[in-house]
Amino acid sequence: MSKNTLVRSRNRSYACQDGCCFYCGLPMWLEDRVKFASTFQLTPRQINPLQCTGEHLIARRDGGDESEANIAAACLHCNRLRHARKNPPSASDYKLLVQKQVRKGRWHHQFIMERFAKILC
């Protein structure tokens, strides 16, 4: 499938998830990075990890495709860390793991966790 399909699926998921990451639940930015940064009083650089990406729930190498059913909107941080693992956990296992860390206030940089502590989706 084409990149356009991925982008379309990602954008739909972003809308369905109210702009929040599938894993950590934090708000993400899709296009207007500067506006997002100023809304949350962070610098554009600080919000890099919160960029919205199209996350393959079933990885491509395991046969997952770019259909809407397989694409969730996830922040860059969650997306990268999942696939950086040697044996990436399933999407549902990873979500549990991430949310456990989020509850402890330990997932994103501290300045992000502090800023979003009260407004998790």
Please report, as ranges, the residues that interact with Zn ion according to CB under 5 A: 21, 23-24, 75, 78
Pick left, alpha or beta for residue 54 (phi over 0 → left; psi -120 to 50 → alpha; otherwise beta). beta
* Of residues 38, 2, 40, the one with CA closest to residue 118: 40
1 or 106: CB nearest Zn ion: 106
Q: Closest separation between CB of residue 81 and Zn ion, Å?
A: 9
Q: Closest separation between CB of residue 102 and Zn ion, Å?
A: 8
21 or 91: CB nearest Zn ion: 21
Query: Do 23 and 95 form a contact (C-beta atoms < 8 A)?
Result: yes
Round the CA-based radius of gyration of the chain to a whole number and report it: 14
CA 121 centroid distance within chain: 12
Q: Closest separation between CB of residue 107 and Zn ion, Å?
A: 8
Q: Closest separation between CB of residue 2 and Zn ion, Å?
A: 25
4 or 92: CB nearest Zn ion: 92
Say how far apart CA 26 and CA 105 lie, in whole Å. 12
37 or 75: CB nearest Zn ion: 75
